[in-house]
Chains A and B, each alone.
Chain A
Amino acid sequence: DAMVIQNPRYQVTQFGKPVTLSCSQTLNHNVMYWYQQKSSQAPKLLFHYYDKDFNNEADTPDNFQSRRPNTSFCFLDIRSPGLGDAAMYLCATSRGRSLYNEQFFGPGTRLTVL
């Protein structure tokens, strides 16, 4: 059964055209994360939510925004995508704040910017 779902799997957008990526979970986990992974690089945390408490990473560009309307859904909005934003975007969840809790990932959305 799918537990963390990301839609779409592939997204093509034009330079400067806003795009929204979505993530949903059936695990009822408190924490949801968004990661960006560029080719051959490590996944990089953009932001995360603990319930409705939003935590932005200091080096996440202002161009990236997120919404979590309820426990199950989380969205990543890219207001004006640039060529450098082409990447794989991974959503993950975890139960609570314990460092021993594994993260559950979605399959990712691969974003192409033309």
Chain B
Amino acid sequence: ILNVEQSPQSLHVQEGDSTNFTCSFPSSNFYALHWYRWETAKSPEALFVMTLNGDEKKKGQISATLNTKEGYSYLYIKGSQPEDSATYLCALPNTSGTYKYIFGTGTRLKVLA
């Protein structure tokens, strides 16, 4: 079974700070990586689907990069706002490229006003 790790488990930043966190995975048999944001009391929502080594995607002040050779993806938030407070989850397909996903435990971000 694929091992997906996220770090840190949680962090607190001040409003306006930039921050980043990591999703790590085995570099062999990579197919795709999904990032989700899950705000409290809401539904998890998709942020990015990363597929190619070197991929860089951006949505507003949030961006993500992918390094499949070394087995990690970074999620960056520039100028964090309180509304960015959420749990950020990454997920990868299990072995053999099936559409069953293994999730990390998430990074819980709290942005303090």
Q: Which residues of A contact B (CB under 8 A)?
A: 4, 31, 35, 40-45, 48, 55, 57, 90, 92, 94, 97-108
Closest to B41 in A: A107
- Can you offer 26 A-B residue contacts whose CB atoms are under 8 A? A35-B103, A40-B9, A40-B105, A41-B105, A42-B4, A42-B104, A43-B89, A43-B103, A44-B103, A45-B100, A90-B44, A92-B44, A98-B99, A99-B32, A99-B93, A100-B51, A103-B36, A103-B44, A103-B46, A105-B36, A105-B44, A105-B45, A106-B43, A107-B41, A107-B42, A107-B43
Closest to A55 in B: B100
Are A99 and B99 in touch, CB under 8 angstroms?
Answer: yes
At the interface, yes or no: B97 with Cβ under 8 Å from chain A?
yes
For this complex, into which size category does the number of interface residues on chain B fall? 20 to 34
